[in-house]
Amino acid sequence: MIPDVTLRRSRQAHIATPRLETPFHARIAALDETNDWYSWAGYKAAHSVFDEELEYFAIRSTAALFDISPMVKYRISGPDAERYLNRLTLRDVAKLKAHRVQYTAWCDDHGHVLDDGTLFRLAPDTFRLCCQERHLPWLLDSAIGFDVEIAEETTEIAGLALQGPTSFAVLANAGFDGIEQLKPFQIAEFSHDDTRVTISRTGFTGDLGYELFVPAGAALSLWDRLWMAGRNLGIRAIGYAALNRTRIEAGFIVANADFMTAEAALRADRARLPDEIGLDWLVDAEKPFFNGRHAILEARRNQSLKYILVGLEIEGNIPAEGAIVYHRKKHEAGLVSAAIWSPLAKRNIAIATLERPYGSRIVDDLWVEIYASRELQYQKMMKRATIVPRPFIKLDRRTATPPGLF
Amino acid sequence: MTSSSPTVNRYDAIVIGGGHNGLTAATLLAQSGRQVIVLEAADSLGGALRGHAFHPGFRAPGLVHILNRLDPEVIRLLKLDTTALSGHPAPTVALSELGNPAILRGAYGETLDGVSAQEAVAFAEMRRKLVFQAGILRRFLRRRPPEIGRITLNDMTSFAGAGLSLLRKGREEGRDFLRMLLMNVADVADEYLDDDRLKGLLAFDATLGIHLGPRSPTSLLGLYYRLTGEINGAIGNQIVARGGLAQAFERAARAAGVTIRTGAAVARIIADRGTASGVVLETGETLSAPVIVSAIHPQATFLKLTDTAELGTGFVRAIGNIRSRGNVAKLDLALDRLPDFTGVSRADLSGRLVLARSIDHVETAFNPAKYGAFSCDPVMEITLPSLSDPSLAPPGAATLSALVQFAPYALKTGWDSGRAEFLAIILEKLEHYAPGLGNSVVAASLMTPVDIEARYHMPGGHWHHGELQADQLLVNRPVNQAAGYATPLKGLYLASAGAHPGGGISGLPGLLAARHILSGEKP
């Protein structure tokens, strides 16, 4: 029998498009000048759109649109949703009011962090969990014994981050009346076309900013509405490279970049307790039982925490990306997982994981060894590093309500 | 609330489940001076030892009709009245279609009747080997399993002891132990024996109550497990159960000062932030204690009685994955006279009769169980309990008890219609070996795994409270995170057959759980 080649080919169309396109792809592709794409959770995402540097300054000086549609999104609803999430995550979900957002993380039974993310309480019994990695089997197995429904809505819901000093002005200009009332981590719903857009005052930049969620079908019209409103407010489409700089300045960590998630780690010693990646403040020992509770509290009691995540300020202006951290220039103490020269702070900053007691008991005499590649030759530098608090920058406009019309 | 009421229901330990393991644990805890209460959902104690009248004048001895592993230390520590254990060792009669059975006498065939002299020598050699190897494993069954990552000096001593006893017998024995440990029983039987009756018997004994056929890898473990048991001082020995053992456990518990409540079903375990502190009965009554011992099935413990919000997702996942679907049906027949099994003497009728003609017979009986159907030519183990305990039947009449497999818990066509069909098949097979038996049946009661689940509160109707297979033994019984009797829910301990070392009337899970609690080791 001769196989029907046409039929077979038509069923393999996905091979021709190995990366999915987000609902905003048409607009970003039209603006794209660098053709610099990467894969974000299987989606074609822009690493840069026109110029990494200028995109960074769009975030810090005007307004930037960043497509967050590939972010994994779960809808969790039902009478037990709060109880369920309280057992799943580290923070007390009972304290999360409706129309508020919580930054949180969740662990396996051994207290190892599976991911961090943001939890949106859309209604008393309805939540949206946004994160980097996929967790459906874990979320479903966690639902045993709970009256709760869990659905992945990554493809159905398009997400857009609008960040920067003029972001509020853009939204106001776009006719989102009442947006000035929105406080940090608050959510509000607005009409858009014949559907609704959920806007939260959240972001990954440490700046004034918002995140907007709409059904995928309304994505392009939402983009156009913002783009039109932002024409005279310096609105720009940006890629991940620029966003990454701002998140380092804000001191935020990225799963599987600054720490390995428990399910992604192949090596047993790579998994991390919350306290080992700077998330100790999320752990609420007073709230009801949650996954990993015993292990986390036991590690604190036994002082068996092995690592610590710190912010570093490094002398000079060469980013220390991937550099090894030394104590007294001799003993290996840890590794830098993210580093930039911060144009805003005018400091050379880094996020590093140190092996205790470095970073906990021993905090002085730390050095990083930077290998700067200069035309096929490494220039090796041993630079002094100082542990400094995160975030590296703090902007009053991030929290001011109502926000300024810059 | 009055000021006195909170203290009324306060104990040092609450034991859920009044089976023999629950009573063993309760007795030992009470002997240490603790205030202990046993809560039993049924109206009487004893769990699988609990008999019931299945026809006017006729009583079934319980789910258990053979005793072969009651641990001597349990007897000693509980000061257990052993009247119920008196009696001669019961022979095992391997029935034959031709009416010439092979008979194992003494402890698991110290001598044989009805086989050739050559075969008897081969059997003796195999028996010596298996009993020796089972003896190595036995060391690990009578102590808490080692904790991976926290191996203690005691564990090392135990490993060294096992190693030394292997070496004492020479390198050859050591090699053979490692070679055979995970083999299937069929290959081992074929290695030593020619006689299909003996091979069928071994195949049956290795797989009884386990979801394996004799040719399934690791099926020899079931036979080892049997040969780790002893009764009346002899390894591999057996007696036909008679009434009274449940009462003996109850008397031991009462003598130690244990408070006992029957008809007291637990609705849930009270827990907060990962620590258990009491139970709520179905009546709404609350009892509190810092130590809760669950001597019921681990899945019932965690998936029915515990709010999963108090347990880790990974743990709940593991508990849910425990394989615990029974394959054995329990038959009780009321007979108007003692049956005659062709070729079996009156005296040997008081033993254990095994209907398993060959390895192939057991293997083909297992096959349909893989696909959710019962065997149309089942294998079975038969006793006549009224011969050992005449009170079970009216004068002149008799009872017959049989464990029949394979009868899968999740029967595709459903047991509502399957029960009568399966019963008819069993009776037809019995008739073949005991002509005239059919005419003497006054009443028949067939408990499928579904019925066993309902009557004995054993999820899946599995009397081991979970498959007794390599992946659910030792450090993984019932699951790794709860293998040492303590569980991730602090203050809650496991003590049923679902815990190490496993099922059968041994009392060891109860003994070892109590010992762990008394050791005061942090969970």
Query: Under CATH, what is the fold of the domain A268-388?
Result: Elongation Factor Tu (Ef-tu); domain 3 (2.40.30)
Residue A1 has pLDDT above 60, yes or no: no
> Is there a contact between B320 and A144 if contact means CB atoms under 8 Å apart?
yes
CA distance A85 to chain B (A): 10
> Could you tell me the pTM of the whole model?
0.94
Residue of A nearest to B307 (CA): A145
User: Which tokens in the block code for residue A156?
Assistant: 């159905």
CATH homologous superfamily for the domain B5-51+243-322+478-518: FAD/NAD(P)-binding domain (3.50.50.60)
CATH homologous superfamily for the domain A5-71+156-250: Probable tRNA modification gtpase trme; domain 1 (3.30.1360.120)
pLDDT tens column, A88-105:
999 999 999 999 999 999
pLDDT for the residue numbered B523: 38
ω before B123 within 30° of 0 (cis)? Answer: no
Residue B120 CA: distances (Å) to CA of B96, B127, B128, B204: 17, 10, 12, 19
Question: In whole angstroms, what is the distance from residue A73 CA to residue A156 CA?
Answer: 9
Residue B198 has pLDDT above 80, yes or no: yes
> Is there a contact between B316 and A145 if contact means CB atoms under 8 Å apart?
yes
Out of A108, A144, A288, the one facing B273 most closely (by C-beta) is: A288
Question: In whole angstroms, what is the distance from residue B15 CA to residue B289 CA?
Answer: 10
Q: In B, residues 363-382, which contact A (CB 8 Å cutoff)?
A: none
pLDDT for the residue numbered B18: 97
Residues of B in contact with A294 (CB under 8 A): 274, 488, 490
User: Which tokens in the block code for residue B436?
Assistant: 């005239």
Out of B313, B488, B490, the one facing A142 most closely (by C-beta) is: B313
Beta carbons of B406 and B341 less than 8 angstroms apart: no
* Residues whose CB is less than 8 angstroms from the CB of residue B349 and which lie 6 or more positions away in sequence, other chains included: B338, B339, B341, B384, B387
CA distance A366 to chain B (A): 34
pLDDT tens column, A103-121:
999 999 999 999 999 999 9
Average pLDDT over chain B reads 94
Looking from the CA of A4 toward its CB, the CA atoms found within 13 Å total 5
Unique residue bearing structure tokens 């083909």: B364
pLDDT for the residue numbered B1: 37
Q: What is the mean pLDDT of residues B65-69?
A: 95
Q: What is the mean pLDDT of residues B225-253?
A: 94
With an 8 Å Cβ cutoff, is A298 touching chain B? no
Question: In whole angstroms, what is the distance from residue A224 CA to residue A67 CA?
Answer: 13
Residue of B nearest to A83 (CA): B309
- Quick one: pLDDT band at residue B7, thresholds 50, 70, 90? low
Residue B2 has pLDDT above 50, yes or no: no
Greatest Cα pair distance, chain A, in angstroms, is: 76
CA quadruple B228, B229, B231, B237: dihedral positive or negative? negative
User: Any bridge partners for residue B93, and if so which?
Assistant: B103, B353
Beta strand residue intervals within A15-90, DSSP E = 36-40, 43-48, 63-67, 72-77
pLDDT for the residue numbered B186: 98
Q: Which amino acid is at A270?
A: R
Residue B475 has pLDDT above 80, yes or no: yes
Domain with CATH 2.40.30.110 in chain A: 268-388
Q: What is the mean pLDDT of residues A213-232?
A: 98
Out of A87, A108, A109, the one facing B309 most closely (by C-beta) is: A87
With an 8 Å Cβ cutoff, is B321 touching chain A? no
Residues of A in contact with B271 (CB under 8 A): 289
Domain with CATH 3.30.70.1400 in chain A: 72-152
- Quick one: pLDDT band at residue B522, thresholds 50, 70, 90? very low
Beta carbons of B249 and B80 less than 8 angstroms apart: yes
Domain with CATH 3.30.1360.120 in chain A: 5-71+156-250
CA distance A288 to chain B (A): 5
* Residues whose CB is less than 8 angstroms from the CB of residue B15 and which lie 6 or more positions away in sequence, other chains included: B22, B23, B25, B26, B29, B36, B37, B38, B39, B258, B293, B295, B495
With an 8 Å Cβ cutoff, is A217 touching chain B? no
Out of A109, A288, A294, the one facing B309 most closely (by C-beta) is: A288
> What is the residue extent of each domain of chain B?
5-51+243-322+478-518, 53-242+325-464
Residue A18 has pLDDT above 80, yes or no: no
pLDDT tens column, B137-153:
999 999 999 887 788 88
Helix axes B220-227, B185-192, angle to 10 degrees: 80
pLDDT for the residue numbered B5: 45
pLDDT tens column, B486-506:
999 999 999 999 999 999 999
Residue A64 has pLDDT above 80, yes or no: yes
pLDDT for the residue numbered A15: 74
Question: In whole angstroms, what is the distance from residue B13 CA to residue B29 CA?
Answer: 8
With an 8 Å Cβ cutoff, is B523 touching chain A? no
pLDDT for the residue numbered B521: 55
ipTM confidence score: 0.92
Residue B3 has pLDDT above 60, yes or no: no
Q: What is the mean pLDDT of residues B310-325?
A: 97
Residue B39 has pLDDT above 60, yes or no: yes
Residues of B in contact with A296 (CB under 8 A): none
Unique residue bearing structure tokens 């966690």: A142
Residue of B nearest to A108 (CA): B314
- Quick one: pLDDT band at residue A394, thresholds 50, 70, 90? very high
User: Any bridge partners for residue A378, and if so which?
Assistant: A373
Residues of A in contact with B272 (CB under 8 A): 288-289
Hey, what's the torsion of the CAs at B368, B374, B378, B380, to 10 degrees?
A: 120
Residue of B nearest to A86 (CA): B309
Q: Which helix (H) or strand (E) holds A140?
A: helix A136-142
Number of Cβ within a 10 Å radius of residue A32: 17
Asked if residue A211 belongs to a known ligand binding site, the reply is yes
> Is there a contact between A289 and B316 if contact means CB atoms under 8 Å apart?
no
Residue of A nearest to B488 (CA): A294
A72-152 is classed CATH 3.30.70.1400? yes
> Is there a contact between A144 and B481 if contact means CB atoms under 8 Å apart?
no
pLDDT tens column, B399-416:
999 999 999 999 999 999
- Quick one: pLDDT band at residue A8, thresholds 50, 70, 90? confident
With an 8 Å Cβ cutoff, is B274 touching chain A? yes
With an 8 Å Cβ cutoff, is A294 touching chain B? yes
Q: In A, residues 271-290, which contact B (CB 8 Å cutoff)?
A: 288-289
Q: What percent of chain B has pLDDT over 90?
A: 89
Residue A352 has pLDDT above 50, yes or no: yes
Number of A to B CB contacts under 8 A, please give it: 54
Hey, what's the torsion of the CAs at A92, A97, A98, A104, to 10 degrees?
A: -40
Q: What are phi and psi of A219, to 5 degrees?
A: -65, -50
With an 8 Å Cβ cutoff, is B490 touching chain A? yes
With an 8 Å Cβ cutoff, is A109 touching chain B? yes
pLDDT for the residue numbered B171: 87
A323: helix, strand or coil: coil
pLDDT tens column, B437-472:
999 999 999 999 999 999 999 999 998 999 999 999
CA distance A145 to chain B (A): 6
CA distance B496 to chain A (A): 23
Residue A367 has pLDDT above 60, yes or no: yes
Out of B273, B307, B488, the one facing A145 most closely (by C-beta) is: B307
* Residues whose CB is less than 8 angstroms from the CB of residue B169 and which lie 6 or more positions away in sequence, other chains included: B132
Q: Which helix (H) or strand (E) holds B220?
A: helix B220-227
B400: helix, strand or coil: strand
Q: What is the mean pLDDT of residues B314-327?
A: 97
Question: In whole angstroms, what is the distance from residue A169 CA to residue A149 CA?
Answer: 38
CA distance B276 to chain A (A): 12
Unique residue bearing structure tokens 């995402």: A45
With an 8 Å Cβ cutoff, is A108 touching chain B? yes
Residue B116 has pLDDT above 60, yes or no: yes
Q: Which helix (H) or strand (E) holds B354?
A: strand B352-355
- Quick one: pLDDT band at residue A5, thresholds 50, 70, 90? confident
